[in-house]
């Protein structure tokens, strides 16, 4: 499973393929994405064709993807021996194996029970899970043309395979029998939850539809799989192939040394030594827009970035139109008014209306704040005699000037204290103080990795017992999608013996000069802690069944632990120990920390509005149902109706909105970040009310009631067990510095 950060920092959407909207994202055990089937006969045809093909294909017995993982701690992914040629036959073999297991469960003559049906289904597909773990990692972190060709070929096959499982009538009938008696048959609460999840997933995937509807639904799902793959690959092409080259020193005016050095390294990597490249990724574009004094180049870079996927050879607009039409039709077949209603039904929000209610409650105060921010920026530009009206490509640049004037804070003055490696140590300190975890670095070569950038740590508890493994892949490179995310290579479980989790954090920080510390921005540091929060959610899981483990929770709940962990970056304990000047080694001055704290809600209008605009457009475009959508027109008209400030664009315009068009993961669910931040703000106040961010009792409740329970209980109950009550919106408004209207 993979998660991205939505706002603040160098973040771009991900291709999150949800196993269910009831469980935050895909477990690598089973990538069952709520697709339907073309009837049971189709499954047998596919099964026959695969077996026939494999009878004449090369022997797969030596395929490293099909063997149980070898090595310490229950095995590790075999990144060192896998080739692209291994992937397709391994996926097909894994699918055949799971289809065989499912067929046995469905044909079992014994009465249906938890053990021979629910547990057996949970156990099926372990080989495929291992294959998909490696496959999804490589497509996200080491993509190239041969791998993209495999991805295009296999995505509809995987969709059809998943449909074949979810629409197996005999299997569903057995699951339904167990579900009907789950509360009276002596099952544990966790077993009841797993039974409910299995039954609900099948129903929402169309298990109750007639054969004709199933056939239509299967065709829709296969086409959607093709479209989301093409959308993702188009965007990756934009980010990989497009850049703006700066040819002389005058074009780098205003850039901080670290940004200039990173741009020079990027140009060299692109075969343009002696120049500076601004690549078409957020981690490259945002600092340029904030620092460059060349307004003409700021506009050029901005237009390149906001135009990703909007025209040219990587145009995503027709894909968007077709995707929305298919999603709307699928929702109708499943009995829902719109895709949004289907998507949100079992999230915390329950209905699109409740999600919209939260977004709209924050929209007005956020826009009001933007008006104030723009007025402040325009005043600075006027005093300087710039003779301009603030435009979107000016916002970050003049915001920094206002920050310096109002708070005596230059964000570039903070950067020398933000060394990537020191902040990583600060994350480890936070994990130790809150949860008693220790991170022990493994020697290179101890476990295989897919790229030399990747390093691995063993995670142990206070008694020195093994907890899991944490992989860290921090740098941008060709073939790696932009942004920051967490991946779950293997979920924790105690089903057939104890299995420890393996997780990773992936970022796209720009390299500096060789041998020098990598410096990052405050926003990037916040992103670093955010993704580490997802990793801790996976590492601290303490459940029996992998489908309920770790981050397999409702979409609008999964971002809560990660957003909460961001708060520890700014604690005095972390800053004093780990925010050290890269040359002098001295800690960040207390007066600078004070200025950071005073400016905590500075530019909050911009951050909130660019996120809310994306979330509102996402929800509204999916509430449009079967109405034909022209992406540019819909985006333009919806933003006009909202009263979108002209100085800001959506954080993710529709042609590049990978969260919602690179998969179903956050479709009609991008609001989730704000919903989760409502919990985050309230939970942080639990610490402040108890005396501080390191309070042991609150930290223990956080671990026991939030981080460790996964999806074994309803998330609302989980939060109430931690906080003693539900969260309201007041803490969120206080956190963002808005007046509640």
Residues 6 or more apart whose Cβ sits within 8 Å of residue 257: none
Tokens 């001295």: give the residue. 586
User: Pick from 161, 159, 137: which is nearest to 147 by CA?
Assistant: 137
Strands 466-475 and 502-509: parallel
As given in the structure block, the two tokens for residue 462 are 């206070």
User: Pick from 181, 168, 77: which is nearest to 131 by CA?
Assistant: 77
Inter-residue contact 461 to 511 (CB < 8 Å): no
As given in the structure block, the two tokens for residue 395 are 């916002």
Inter-residue contact 168 to 525 (CB < 8 Å): no
Question: What whole-number distance in Å separates Cα of residue 86 and Cα of residue 65?
Answer: 7
Inter-residue contact 660 to 617 (CB < 8 Å): no
As given in the structure block, the two tokens for residue 4 are 């991205």
Length of the chain equals 741
Question: What whole-number distance in Å separates Cα of residue 487 and Cα of residue 16?
Answer: 10
As given in the structure block, the two tokens for residue 739 are 């007046």
Host H or E run for residue 669: none
Question: What whole-number distance in Å separates Cα of residue 113 and Cα of residue 207?
Answer: 19
Question: What whole-number distance in Å separates Cα of residue 319 and Cα of residue 316?
Answer: 5
Q: What are phi and psi of 556, to 5 degrees?
A: -85, 10
- What is the gyration radius of the CA atoms in the chain, in angstroms? 25
Inter-residue contact 235 to 653 (CB < 8 Å): no
Residue 207 is given by DSSP the state: T
Host H or E run for residue 208: none
Sign of CA dihedral 167, 173, 177, 178: negative
User: Strand, coil or helix: what is 565?
Assistant: helix
On the CB side of 407, CA atoms within 13 Å amount to 23
b/e for 470-497, b at 16 or more Cβ within 10 A? bbbbbbbeebbbbbbbbbbbbbbbebee
As given in the structure block, the two tokens for residue 273 are 């030594």
| DSSP result, 68-102 | PPPSSTT----TTT--HHHHHHHHHHHHHHHHHHH
Question: What whole-number distance in Å separates Cα of residue 254 and Cα of residue 301?
Answer: 15
Inter-residue contact 131 to 66 (CB < 8 Å): yes
Residues 6 or more apart whose Cβ sits within 8 Å of residue 53: 92
Task: Determine the distance from the C-alpha atom of residue 514 to the mean position of all C-alpha atoms in its chain, rounded to a whole number.
Answer: 30
Inter-residue contact 299 to 285 (CB < 8 Å): no
Strands 455-460 and 466-475: antiparallel
Whole-angstrom CA distances from 77 to 80, 188, 209, 710 are 9, 33, 39, 23
Q: What count of other Cβ atoms lies within 10 Å of the Cβ of residue 445?
A: 8
Inter-residue contact 20 to 204 (CB < 8 Å): yes
- List active site positions: 531
């Amino acid at each position: 499973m993979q998660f991205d950060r939505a706002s603040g920092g160098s973040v771009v959407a991900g291709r999150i393929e949800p196993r269910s909207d009831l469980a935050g994202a895909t477990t690598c055990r089973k990538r069952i994405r709520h697709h339907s089937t073309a009837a049971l006969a189709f499954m047998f045809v596919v099964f026959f064709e695969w077996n026939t093909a494999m009878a004449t294909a090369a022997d797969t017995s030596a395929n490293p993807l099909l063997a149980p993982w070898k090595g310490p701690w229950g095995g590790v992914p075999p990144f060192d021996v896998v080739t692209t040629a291994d992937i397709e036959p391994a996926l097909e073999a894994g699918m055949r194996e799971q289809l065989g297991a499912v067929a046995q469960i469905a044909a079992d003559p014994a009465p249906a029970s938890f053990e021979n049906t629910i547990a057996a289904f949970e156990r099926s597909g372990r080989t495929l899970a291992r294959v998909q773990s490696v496959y999804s990692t490589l497509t996200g972190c080491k993509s190239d043309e041969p791998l993209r060709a495999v991805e295009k070929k296999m995505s509809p096959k995987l969709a059809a395979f998943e449909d074949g499982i979810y629409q197996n009538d005999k299997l569903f009938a057995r699951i339904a029998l167990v579900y009907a008696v789950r509360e009276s048959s002596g099952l544990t609460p966790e077993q009841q939850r797993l039974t409910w999840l299995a039954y609900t997933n099948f129903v929402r995937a169309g298990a109750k539809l007639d054969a004709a509807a199933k056939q239509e639904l299967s065709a829709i799902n296969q086409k959607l799989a093709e479209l989301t793959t093409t959308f993702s690959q188009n965007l990756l092409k934009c980010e990989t192939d497009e850049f703006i080259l700066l040819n002389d020193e005058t074009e780098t005016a205003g850039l901080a040394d670290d940004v200039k050095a990173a741009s020079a390294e990027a140009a060299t990597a692109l075969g343009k030594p002696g120049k500076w490249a601004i690549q078409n990724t957020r981690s490259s574009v945002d600092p340029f827009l904030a620092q460059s004094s060349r307004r003409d180049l700021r506009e050029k870079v901005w237009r390149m970035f906001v135009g990703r996927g909007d025209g040219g050879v990587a145009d995503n607009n027709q894909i968007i139109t077709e995707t929305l039409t298919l999603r709307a039709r699928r929702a109708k077949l499943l009995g829902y008014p719109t895709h949004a209603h289907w998507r949100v039904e079992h999230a915390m929000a329950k209905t699109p209306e409740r999600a919209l209610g939260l977004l709209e409650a924050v929209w007005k105060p956020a826009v009001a704040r933007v008006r104030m921010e723009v007025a402040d920026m325009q005043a600075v530009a006027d005093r300087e005699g710039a003779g301009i009206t603030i435009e979107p490509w000016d916002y970050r640049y003049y915001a920094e000037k206002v920050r310096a004037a109002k708070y005596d804070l230059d964000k570039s003055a903070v950067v020398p204290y933000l060394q990537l490696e020191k902040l990583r140590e600060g994350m480890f300190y936070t994990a130790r103080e809150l949860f008693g975890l220790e991170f022990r670095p493994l020697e290179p070569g101890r476990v295989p990795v897919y790229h030399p950038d990747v390093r691995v740590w063993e995670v142990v508890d206070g008694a020195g017992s093994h907890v899991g493994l944490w992989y860290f892949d921090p740098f941008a490179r060709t073939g790696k999608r932009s942004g920051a995310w967490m991946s779950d290579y293997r979920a924790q479980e105690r089903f057939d013996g104890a299995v420890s989790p393996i997780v990773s954090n992936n970022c796209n920080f720009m390299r500096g000069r060789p041998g020098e510390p990598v410096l990052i921005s405050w926003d990037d540091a916040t992103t670093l802690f955010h993704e580490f929060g997802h990793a801790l959610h996976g590492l601290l899981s303490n459940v029996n069944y992998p489908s309920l483990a770790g981050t397999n929770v409702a979409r609008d709940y999964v971002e809560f632990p990660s957003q909460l962990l961001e708060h520890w970056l700014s604690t005095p304990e972390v800053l004093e120990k780990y925010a050290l000047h890269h040359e002098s080694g001295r800690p960040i001055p207390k007066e600078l920390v004070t200025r950071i704290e005073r400016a905590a809600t500075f530019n909050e209008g911009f951050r909130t509005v660019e996120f809310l605009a994306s979330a509102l457009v996402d929800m509204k475009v999916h509430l449009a149902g079967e109405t034909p959508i022209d992406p540019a027109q819909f985006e333009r008209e919806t933003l006009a109706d909202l009263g979108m400030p002209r100085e800001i664009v959506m954080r993710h315009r529709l042609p590049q909105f990978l969260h919602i068009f690179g998969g179903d993961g956050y479709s009609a669910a991008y609001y989730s970040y704000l919903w989760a931040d409502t919990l985050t703000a309230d939970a942080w106040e639990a610490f402040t009310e108890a005396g501080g961010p390191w309070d042991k009792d609150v930290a223990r409740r956080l671990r026991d009631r939030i981080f460790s329970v996964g999806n074994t209980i309803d998330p609302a109950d989980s939060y109430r067990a931690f906080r003693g009550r539900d969260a309201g919106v007041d803490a969120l408004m206080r956190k963002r510095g808005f007046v509640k209207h």
